[in-house]
Structure 1
């Protein structure tokens, strides 16, 4: 049985400097999909050669941030001393845990002649017992991302988070969760089966695609119902298309969110701010260009 569409929507513009961003989640219909509570799409743009200044040092607590770089290079710094560059096709994951400061900058990839910048940032809500743990950081380059090629050269699936068949992401799972990048060549299709009570959404970053017999446009965010069933992706166009499919089991604990903090109560938010202003998240020392 095919899963039914609950809703579809397009994001709200949330630009930072000269980078064009569309906020896809939270949206007017949903504030979460499984453990995922935030999704920004940094739309494709040719670099003008001027280095971006980054987001600026800022705190997080209670979540994990995940940046998936399709094109470009993200440079990361945090108050735990982590400093790394992730190149096109790579992932950076940071468990904020009980509090951290970080900064990240997206620019053209220094290892590629492609001057395109294109990325996604997700926030993954952590269970209450993990929110109190120390921060962690992972940099996963493109060659380390698990990938399965489809038969007959139909395309491929990359496992960014979670598992697919015998493939497993290096990113820790604190609940059932998944994030797949699916690439379909022209005139091909792919079907995936999902279990009962699993929240799932799709995002189309570049081209229109048919999902369970309904056509959706580039830039659309689509959520499906929570009953067990299949999602069939069809690319009826004459060019390849890409799709992000993500979700997991429902996050059932209370959610209190304010600014860069996501906790389980208003008192948890207040404590997050107190600790930040008390300097408990450490300090950030930028040494850009030295990795």
Structure 2
């Protein structure tokens, strides 16, 4: 993880997440948390998954693992993931759809390639974020909701298409149930298209999935794989330097510090220690029909 200096007006920091190989050619870029920026609004985790191509018999196998104090948001650009959790949910997610899983007091889930796709091979490319829950909602009952692509609002004008995954922005409100002020959007721009990033949320960042973008009136630009955090209360016009795809994320920062260990997020260190003990003692509910156990990291 590194940070690139910038004298571009309105830009607070530019984070360059490294590529990590998880095996079998499957890579991730982890932009949050970083040593330079732990959160943007309520977002405390951002992974770009892939792009990856699986041969016959290969696929994704994220074994059952626990979460507390957060919501996971899965959004795919290519391919499919089969989600299973300890509530009994079984749901395949495809591009443009949204999986929102509220961990709250505790949930366990797995993410895999389905047997049907594994038999023939396929691609996988997407993003997973974690949204830290407000203190009053950290211990809510766990929940899982799937939203189809045609439920997610879209606006398009002058070569820019914005899909509002969650929260509010540009006059749109996503149906995805959230717990605090936030924005999470997929922005696709043709070469030369512009997008005005309004100051309607306190903290905002863009993650460049593909292409390149610049701030109008400033020299320099931002490349694929970079997370750009903007200063509060600044209105910025972005211009695509090529066909470009961005993820916009942010919102109201939470007033309390969040602690993170492995897959656990909480405003209380003691709560995380309890979650660690509960996982070791296998007190978390299990995913039906799945029996693997991931040891607690050292």
Output the TM-score relative to the length of structure 2: 0.86
Q: 2:198 corresponds to which residue?
A: 193
Q: 2:81 matched to 1:77?
A: no
Q: CA deviation at 1:7?
A: 1.2
Q: 1:124 corresponds to which residue?
A: 131
Q: 2:287 matched to 1:276?
A: no
Matches of 2:116 and 2:251, distance apart in 1: 32
Q: 2:223 corresponds to which residue?
A: 217
Q: CA deviation at 1:24?
A: 0.8
Q: 2:247 matched to 1:241?
A: no
- Kept in 1, the 8 Å contact 2:86–2:108? The answer is yes
Q: 1:13 corresponds to which residue?
A: 19
Q: 1:31 corresponds to which residue?
A: 38
Q: CA deviation at 1:106?
A: 4.7
Matches of 1:252 and 1:15, distance apart in 2: 35
Output the TM-score relative to the length of structure 1: 0.88
Taking structure 1 as reference, are residues 193 and 109 closer, same or farther at Cα in structure 2, changes over 3 Å only? farther
- Kept in 2, the 8 Å contact 1:147–1:156? The answer is yes
Could you list the runs of 5+ residues in structure 1 that have no partner in the other structure? none
Return 277-286 or 123-132, whichever deviates more. Answer: 277-286
Q: CA deviation at 1:211?
A: 2.9
Q: 2:149 matched to 1:145?
A: no
Could you list the runs of 5+ residues in structure 2 that have no partner in the other structure? 1-7, 291-298
Aligned length: 278
Equivalent positions of 1:39-188 (< 5 A) are 39-106=46-113, 115-150=122-157, 152=158, 154-188=159-193
Q: 2:208 corresponds to which residue?
A: 204
Matches of 2:44 and 2:82, distance apart in 1: 23
Q: CA deviation at 1:131?
A: 1.2
Taking structure 1 as reference, are residues 28 and 41 closer, same or farther at Cα in structure 2, changes over 3 Å only? same
Q: 2:260 matched to 1:257?
A: yes
RMSD of equivalent CA atoms: 2.3
Taking structure 1 as reference, are residues 43 and 53 closer, same or farther at Cα in structure 2, changes over 3 Å only? closer
- Kept in 1, the 8 Å contact 2:147–2:176? The answer is no
Taking structure 1 as reference, are residues 62 and 3 closer, same or farther at Cα in structure 2, changes over 3 Å only? farther
